[in-house]
Amino acid sequence: MNRGITRREREVTDRNEIIEILDKCKIVHLGLIDGNLPYVVPMNYGYTMEEGQLTLYMHGATKGRKTDLIRTNPNVFFEMECDVTPFDGKAACQYGTSYQSIMGEGRAEILDDIEEKKKALSIFMKSQTGREFEFQDKMVSVVNVIKIQVSDYTAKRRPLPLMMQV
């Protein structure tokens, strides 16, 4: 559920700025549900933003804890951040870290259709490298491809203090 950001002045709502963050982050921390405990796994991702619909794509081994958990409960939460720069100050409370981040929730699905997997892997590689790749059936059949349809997200930016900006 999107409760809104407490520090409203740090919220990023401009779609182009959100896309810039999605382009930069490269790593997502994917939160899954394991019984009554969270399980968080860092992964690379690709994304599409189509008419405001954000979709994330990841790939990995066909077996493992995250795969088992997604099959049991597809509800996920995620966080990604970039432009992380610690800064210091005179007093302890003046130290901090500038960043840009996105957090959100959605439903994960492990793709079965080979053509859909190929398309997802192309999106993944394009997001990660900026390059176009094509995939053969054999390469695609040995990996899991995860699609996350994001239902809600927020973006936030904490800039460097003015005196530290160049």
Ligand X SMILES: Cc1cc2nc3c(=O)[nH]c(=O)nc-3n(C[C@H](O)[C@H](O)[C@H](O)COP(=O)(O)OP(=O)(O)OC[C@H]3O[C@@H](n4cnc5c(N)ncnc54)[C@H](O)[C@@H]3O)c2cc1C
Selected range binding ligand X among 55-63, 70-78, 81-89, 154-162, rule: CB under 6 A: 55-63
Mention every residue, 6+ apart, whose C-beta is less than 8 A from residue 47.
22, 54, 55, 56, 57, 123, 127
Out of 60, 83, 98, 151, the residue judged to bind ligand X by CB under 6 A: 60
65 touches ligand X by CB under 6 A: yes
42 touches ligand X by CB under 6 A: yes
Mention every residue, 6+ apart, whose C-beta is less than 8 A from residue 110.
67, 70, 71, 144, 145, 146, 147
41 touches ligand X by CB under 6 A: yes
66 touches ligand X by CB under 6 A: yes
Query: How far is 77 from 124, CA to CA, in rounded Å?
Result: 19
User: Under DSSP, is residue 82 helix (H, G, I), strand (E, B) or coil?
Assistant: strand
**By CB under 6 A, what part of segment 3-32 binds ligand X?**
27
Tell me which residues touch ligand X (CB under 6 A): 27, 41-44, 58-61, 64-67
